[in-house]
């Protein structure tokens, strides 16, 4: 899409769905990811907490008399935008509630956007710049409002999107960059099945 070999590019990929992750891809290799020991780490997600102060676990166990399994269930299935909003893990429901004046839904959306922006800035520093930001997965591909919010006030990094292109890009491969933007902003539908097939082929041939 950019007309350049991957070996020349620094890319931040935003895989945003009910489960989300951000990756720094420098010259075709992932050099950092928001995920940790498990996918629970990183940005706030549909029901997952994302990065938290580890001391919270001890606090919950001591003050709320929760077991390890109960804390694990809370962090994985009852936290994230669901826990913050008290409404839903579905971003369509969050936007509907936010428009109706639900402050917790507004907060959940703001927290999600802020957590993603934090990684974009961090990875731009780690890679020494960024040539492209890629939105993918359910939310990344189909939610123009989220893309607009995440890229807002990012002109200092060279990131700027075209309002009309952004509105038109829903589940299709498209460059939504504004004219003159130094960094390309792309929408690329995810194809996890293809990657699984490619990795399987690589591993079976290697064996």
Q: Is the confidence at residue 183, as pLDDT, over 90?
A: yes
d(CA 19, CA 46): 6
pLDDT > 70: percent of the chain: 100
Helix, strand or coil, per DSSP, at residue 81: helix
Which residues, including other chains, have CB under 8 Å from residue 132's CB and lie 6 or more apart?
2, 9, 10, 11, 12, 183, 184, 185, 186
Confidence of residue 192 (pLDDT cuts 50, 70, 90): confident
Domains and CATH numbers, the chain: 6-45+105-206 (3.30.420.40)
Q: Is the confidence at residue 149, as pLDDT, over 90?
A: yes
* Averaged pLDDT of the chain: 93
- Over the stretch 91-122, which tens digit does the pLDDT of each residue have? 999 999 999 999 999 999 999 999 999 999 99
pTM of the model: 0.89
For the four alpha carbons of 86, 91, 96 and 101, in that order, the dihedral sign comes to positive
């Amino acid at each position: 899409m950019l007309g350049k070999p991957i070996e020349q590019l620094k890319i931040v990929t935003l895989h945003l769905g009910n489960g989300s992750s951000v990756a720094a891809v420098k010259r075709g290799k992932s050099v950092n990811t928001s995920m940790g020991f498990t996918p629970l780490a990183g940005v706030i997600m549909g029901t997952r907490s994302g990065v938290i102060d580890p001391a919270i676990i001890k606090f919950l166990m001591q003050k709320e008399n929760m077991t390890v399994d109960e804390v694990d269930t809370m962090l994985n299935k009852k936290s994230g935008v669901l826990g913050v909003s008290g409404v839903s893990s579905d971003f369509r429901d969050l936007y509907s509630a936010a428009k109706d004046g639900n402050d917790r839904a507004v907060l959940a959306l703001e927290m999600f956007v802020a957590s993603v922006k934090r990684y974009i800035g961090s990875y731009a520093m780690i890679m020494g710049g960024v040539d492209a930001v890629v939105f993918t997965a359910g939310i990344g591909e189909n939610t123009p409002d989220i893309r607009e919010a995440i890229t807002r006030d990012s002109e200092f990094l060279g990131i700027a999107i075209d309002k009309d292109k952004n509105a038109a890009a829903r589940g299709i491969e498209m460059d939504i960059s504004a004219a003159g933007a130094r960094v390309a902003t792309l929408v690329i539908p995810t194809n996890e099945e293809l990657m699984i097939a490619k990795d399987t082929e690589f591993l079976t041939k290697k064996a």
